[in-house]
């Protein structure tokens, strides 16, 4: 049975086909005339796998920040793997997993759109299509729009977001950079003047942020995205950026070693990189020792106390509860047949060791 909120959302959020024509120069003198986006393919009732295949044909709005190296969750290298079909072995979020932010983002999107319409007074409707930049030279620029704002000269696009306990901190200073890039990409593809970002923070606080079209920012974004897309076209990976995402990508791209020994002694650039790595590790080791010394000084002063307060904060030093464990070694000694009955292979991983 549908909830009242869901029924209301359906009445406010209509499923209509196309974006309205771009605003005229007389309405926005500083905005040059642009052509509307092309409808690459309809997405209503499209299977998810087919939709993902379409996304590989270009850079979508949700890809934009990763393409330019500014997505906190996904690197350009991981995105390149997706676009070149090398992501089969990469772990993916299950869209039906209730513990993931993506799941609740999809569930709450119509509710966020509904309350945006109530608060702003604007009508919104769905766009069931993948949009494509009208310039043939930029046909790799794609976009999925959450909602179109209709009947407004001020704003034409609505981007719906949700942020849970861990994500709220990213919104303390306003729209996070990776979301701004996503929206600017949408404005670039559609030729529109402005977008509203409606974000539900912590499940109970709705904020609305306006993002205006910025031609200089769009041109810079297009150039950086073009550089990434060249990596896809040429089938050459972009450089790793030190993120956990890049680490996952490298482990997936090169899961096995072949025993070969490479000689980089005459490669000045890689030799310099190795030297910098050694120097950085020395600094980290020294800082870790310093951290341990400072921590132990405080622990020594606390003795048996559980808490200590300081001018700038506080610390706790408490014993965790006892827990029960299984003595596997003793169990297998008493019942050795269990090892054969329940044996399982744990896949190994490559270790990066400095000799």
Query: What's the angle, vertex CA 350, arms to CA 259 and CA 328, rounded to 5?
Result: 120
The 3-state secondary structure of the chain reads: CCCHHHHHHHHHEEECCCCCCCCCCCCCCCCCCCCCCEEEEECCCCCHHHHHHHHCCCECCCCHHHHCCCCCCCCHHHHHHHHCCCCCCCCCCCCCCCCCHHHHHHHHHHHHHHHHHHHHCCEEEECCEEEECCCHHHCCEEECCCEEEECCCCCCEEEEEEECCCCHHHHCCCCCHHHHHHHHHHHHHHCCCEEEEEEEECCCEEEEEEEECCHHHHHHHHHHHHHHHHHHHHCCCCCCCCCHHHHHHHHHHCCCCCCCCCCCCCCHHHHHHHHHHHHHHHHHHHHHHHHHHHHHHHHHHHCCCCEEEECCEEEECCCCCCCCCCCHHHHHHHCCHHHHHCCCCCCCCCCCCCC
Closest listed residue to residue 326, CA positions, set 314, 313, 342, 312: 342
Query: Which parts of the chain have pLDDT scores under 70?
Result: 1-34, 93, 95
Query: In the structure encoding, which two tokens stand for residue 355, read together?
Result: 């000799």
Q: pLDDT value at position 28?
A: 43
Whether 177 maps to a domain, the answer reads yes
Q: pLDDT value at position 105?
A: 81
Whether 107 maps to a domain, the answer reads yes
Distances, alpha carbon 13 to alpha carbons 18, 113, 149, 153, 284, in Å: 14, 7, 10, 19, 53
Whether 320 maps to a domain, the answer reads no
Compute the distance between CA of residue 81 and CA of residue 61 in angstroms, rounded to an integer: 17
pTM metric for this prediction: 0.80
Q: pLDDT value at position 34?
A: 64
Whether 319 maps to a domain, the answer reads no
Query: In the structure encoding, which two tokens stand for residue 68, read together?
Result: 């330019």
Query: What's the angle, vertex CA 244, arms to CA 238 and CA 248, rounded to 5?
Result: 70
Q: pLDDT value at position 6?
A: 44
Whether 270 maps to a domain, the answer reads no
Compute the distance between CA of residue 95 and CA of residue 7 in angstroms, rounded to an integer: 23
Whether 44 maps to a domain, the answer reads yes
* Domain count for the chain: 1
Query: In the structure encoding, which two tokens stand for residue 209, read together?
Result: 């942020």
Tell me if 177 sits within 8 A of 72, measured CB to CB: no
Q: pLDDT value at position 88?
A: 84
Question: Model confidence over 175-209: pLDDT tens digits?
Answer: 999 999 999 999 999 999 999 999 999 888 999 99
User: Looking at residue 9, which CATH number applies to its domain?
Assistant: 3.90.320.10
Whether 283 maps to a domain, the answer reads no
Question: Model confidence over 255-272: pLDDT tens digits?
Answer: 999 999 999 999 999 999
Range of the domain at 200: 4-248
Whether 297 maps to a domain, the answer reads no
């Amino acid at each position: 049975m549908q909830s009242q909120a869901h029924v209301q959302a359906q009445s406010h959020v209509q499923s209509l086909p196309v974006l309205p024509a771009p605003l005229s120069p007389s309405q926005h003198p500083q905005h040059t005339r642009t052509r509307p986006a092309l409808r690459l393919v309809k997405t209503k009732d499209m299977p998810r796998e087919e939709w993902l295949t379409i996304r590989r044909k270009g850079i979508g709005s949700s890809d934009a920040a990763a393409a330019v190296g500014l997505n906190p969750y996904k690197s350009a290298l991981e995105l390149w793997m997706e676009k070149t079909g090398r992501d089969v072995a990469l772990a993916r979020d299950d869209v039906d997993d209730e513990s993931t932010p993506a799941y609740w983002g999809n569930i709450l999107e119509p509710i966020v759109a509904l309350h945006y319409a109530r608060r702003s007074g604007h009508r919104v409707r769905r766009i069931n299509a993948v949009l494509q930049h009208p310039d043939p030279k930029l046909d790799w620029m794609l976009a999925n729009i959450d909602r179109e704002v209709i009947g407004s000269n001020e704003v034409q696009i609505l981007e719906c977001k949700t942020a849970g306990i861990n994500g709220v901190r990213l919104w303390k200073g306003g729209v996070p950079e990776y979301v701004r890039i996503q929206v600017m990409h949408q404005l670039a593809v559609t030729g529109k003047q402005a977008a509203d970002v409606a974000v539900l923070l912590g499940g109970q606080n709705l904020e609305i942020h306006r993002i205006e079209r910025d031609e200089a920012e769009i041109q810079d974004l297009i150039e950086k995205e073009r550089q990434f897309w060249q990596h896809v076209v040429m089938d050459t990976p972009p450089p790793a950026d030190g993120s956990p995402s890049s680490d996952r990508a490298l482990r997936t791209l090169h899961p096995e070693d072949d025993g070969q020994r490479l000689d980089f002694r005459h490669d000045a650039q890689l030799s310099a990189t190795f030297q910098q790595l050694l120097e950085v590790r020395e600094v980290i080791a020294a800082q870790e020792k310093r951290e341990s010394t400072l921590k132990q000084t405080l622990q020594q002063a606390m003795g048996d106390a559980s808490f200590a307060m300081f001018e700038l904060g506080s610390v706790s030093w408490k014993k965790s509860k006892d827990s029960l464990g299984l003595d596997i070694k003793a169990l297998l000694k008493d019942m050795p047949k269990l090892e054969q009955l329940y044996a399982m292979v744990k896949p190994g991983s490559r270790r990066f060791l400095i000799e």
